[in-house]
């Protein structure tokens, strides 16, 4: 029996155990954006580090940063063979609105084919699938490749300290390819490889008018209401064709060429299914593009949050002193996330009326990335997926942002293979996030085949 076959046989008989471990990992609330969860984030790093030691990594460090720690691990016992750097993150998004969860976000509950819990899909399921693959291979003999792990705890807040970490260890992180597990497939029966990711620039916009909240009857109609002004400013950020109106926003956008539109047209997608999955009665987006193009290959601007004045139960007749929006742009090559803040400020300078003040705070930004579709590692990934799923993977662009792909491309000069097993309807970042368990088990097998095929 080959090492690969032995490993595959092993994982098929240990699924119950793997599920238990996934439940354990998902039950730790590693919400990186909320300061009160700092201890839990640290506990998660320790859980991951212990697991890396257990599966045979010869060096495992938990490296403190000014924020949350980075787990680094390595095994270098295959001289002459390629070195794979596995990237992942163990932090998760907040859980609000918590009332909409069917089971507790950290209860790690199985219903049907799915494990429900915050981070199950994004991306604790993917991390664990990879670790279980490496564990199974290592039990059969020395690993077929050298392997390094960088598993951070700040991906959901913009990988704040990853750049410094890479800069300070450029030599130690040297590798032939990055395996980025923060990825997904198209449908349970349709594997996919994401070859492009959108960049992100995320802002808070605050509009202020009176120096304090006022009585809306006594003052209403005589001064600008900052909530109304915020709404007017936001309303003007798209034109009637669904295009973003920030000055210069599209200037550096690489147009889609016919060859790539052809590739994207092959992505099995149905607007009808997209409507059903999201629960809306009609789709919307930039005029002249398909849904697949809109979410993968075109830049967008979304409102992520609004707050102003009185929002409790009942009525309070207040004219609010301020109004705040969280908003973010998704960017495509060659847009520069560092320039969007200037474009937004310019828009506000042009359109904010007199009588109010405004402030823009940039919270996060990350670069867009496109990787080559014809490298040896890409072929190894495609072949592993085909073996496990029985069909050729599709190549697609993804609307989400994994700024680390651009970061590693820039700092280490290495392309990333996006290989993960999340599904589009996993509800990541929303309530009732889940990991589809058959995809989790297939993911383990795919990683075994990928690492062997490199």
Residues 322-341 that bind a second copy (CB under 8 A): 323-326, 328, 330
Contact 139, 59 (CB under 8 A): no
By beta-carbon proximity to a second copy, the closer residue of 242 and 247 is 242
Minimum CB separation from a second copy for residue 129, in Å? 20
Dihedrals phi, psi of 396, to nearest 5 degrees: -140, 160
Residue 125: which of 110, 140, 136 has the closest Cα? 110
By beta-carbon proximity to a second copy, the closer residue of 360 and 363 is 363
- Look up residue 303 and give its two tokens: 């409102």
Local structure of 435: helix, strand or coil: strand
Q: In sequence order, what are the residues at sequence separation of 6 or more whose Cβ sits closer than 8 angstroms to the Cβ of residue 91?
A: 30, 31, 32, 41, 44, 68, 119, 152, 153, 154, 155, 156, 157
Pick one of 89, 118, 161, 298: the residue that binds a second copy (CB under 8 A): 298
Footprint of a second copy on 195-214 (CB under 8 A): 198, 200, 202, 209-214
Q: Residue 300 interacts with a second copy (CB under 8 A)?
A: yes
If binding means CB under 8 A, how many residues of this protein chain bind a second copy? 101
By beta-carbon proximity to a second copy, the closer residue of 76 and 275 is 275
Pick one of 79, 279, 390, 413: the residue that binds a second copy (CB under 8 A): 279
Per-residue contact flags (x/-) with a second copy for residues 75 to 104, judged by CB under 8 A? ------------------xx-xx--x----
By beta-carbon proximity to a second copy, the closer residue of 44 and 452 is 44
Q: Residue 355 interacts with a second copy (CB under 8 A)?
A: yes
What's the CA dihedral at 125, 103, 425, 421 to 10 degrees? 10
- Look up residue 326 and give its two tokens: 């969280």
Minimum CB separation from a second copy for residue 111, in Å? 16
- Look up residue 366 and give its two tokens: 């990350």
Q: Residue 370 interacts with a second copy (CB under 8 A)?
A: no
Q: Residue 391 interacts with a second copy (CB under 8 A)?
A: no
Q: Residue 255 interacts with a second copy (CB under 8 A)?
A: no
CA-CA distances (angstroms) from residue 204 to 207, 302, 331, 362? 10, 12, 17, 7
Q: Residue 155 interacts with a second copy (CB under 8 A)?
A: no
Contact 157, 94 (CB under 8 A): no
Q: Residue 304 interacts with a second copy (CB under 8 A)?
A: yes
Q: Residue 40 interacts with a second copy (CB under 8 A)?
A: no
């Amino acid at each position: 029996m080959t090492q690969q076959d032995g490993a595959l046989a092993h994982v098929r008989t240990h699924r119950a155990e793997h599920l238990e471990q996934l439940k354990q990992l998902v039950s730790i609330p590693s919400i990186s954006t909320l300061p009160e969860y700092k201890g839990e984030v640290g506990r998660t790093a320790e859980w991951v580090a212990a697991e890396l030691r257990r599966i045979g990594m010869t060096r495992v460090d938990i490296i403190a940063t000014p924020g949350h720690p980075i787990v680094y691990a390595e095994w270098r016992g295959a001289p002459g063979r390629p070195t794979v750097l596995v990237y992942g993150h163990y932090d998760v998004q907040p859980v609000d609105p918590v009332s909409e969860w069917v089971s507790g976000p950290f209860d790690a509950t199985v219903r049907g084919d799915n494990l429900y819990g915050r981070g199950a899909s994004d991306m604790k399921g993917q991390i664990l699938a990879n670790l279980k693959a490496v564990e199974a291979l290592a039990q059969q003999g020395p690993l077929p490749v050298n392997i390094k792990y960088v598993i951070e705890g700040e991906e959901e807040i913009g990988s704040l300290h990853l750049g410094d970490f890479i800069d300070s260890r450029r030599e130690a992180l040297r590798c032939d390819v990055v395996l980025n597990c923060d990825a997904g497939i198209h449908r349970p029966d349709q594997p996919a490889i994401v070859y492009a990711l959108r960049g992100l620039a995320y802002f808070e916009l605050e509009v202020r008018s009176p120096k304090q909240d006022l009585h809306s009857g006594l003052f209403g109609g005589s001064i600008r209401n900052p909530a109304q002004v915020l709404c007017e400013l936001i309303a003007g950020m798209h034109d009637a064709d669904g295009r973003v109106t920030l000055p210069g926003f599209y200037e550096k956008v690489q147009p889609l060429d016919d060859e790539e539109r052809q590739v994207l047209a092959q992505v099995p997608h149905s607007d009808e299914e997209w409507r059903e999955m999201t629960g809306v009665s009609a789709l919307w987006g930039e005029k002249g593009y398909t849904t697949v193009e809109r979410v993968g290959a075109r830049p967008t601007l979304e409102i992520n949050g609004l707050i102003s004045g009185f929002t409790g139960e009942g009525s309070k007749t207040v004219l609010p002193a301020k109004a705040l929006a969280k908003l973010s742009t998704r960017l495509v090559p060659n847009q520069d996330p560092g320039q969007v803040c200037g474009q937004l400020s310019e828009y506000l300078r042009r359109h904010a009326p007199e009588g109010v003040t405004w402030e823009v705070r940039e919270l996060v930004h990350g670069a867009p990335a496109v990787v080559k579709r014809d490298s040896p590692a890409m072929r190894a990934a495609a072949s592993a997926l085909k073996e496990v799923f029985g069909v050729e993977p599709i190549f697609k662009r993804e609307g989400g942002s994994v700024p680390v792909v651009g970061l590693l491309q820039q700092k280490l000069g290495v392309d990333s293979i996006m290989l993960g097993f999340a599904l589009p309807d996993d509800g990541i970042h929303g309530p009732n996030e889940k990991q589809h368990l058959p995809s989790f088990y297939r993911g383990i097998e795919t990683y075994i085949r990928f690492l062997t095929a490199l």
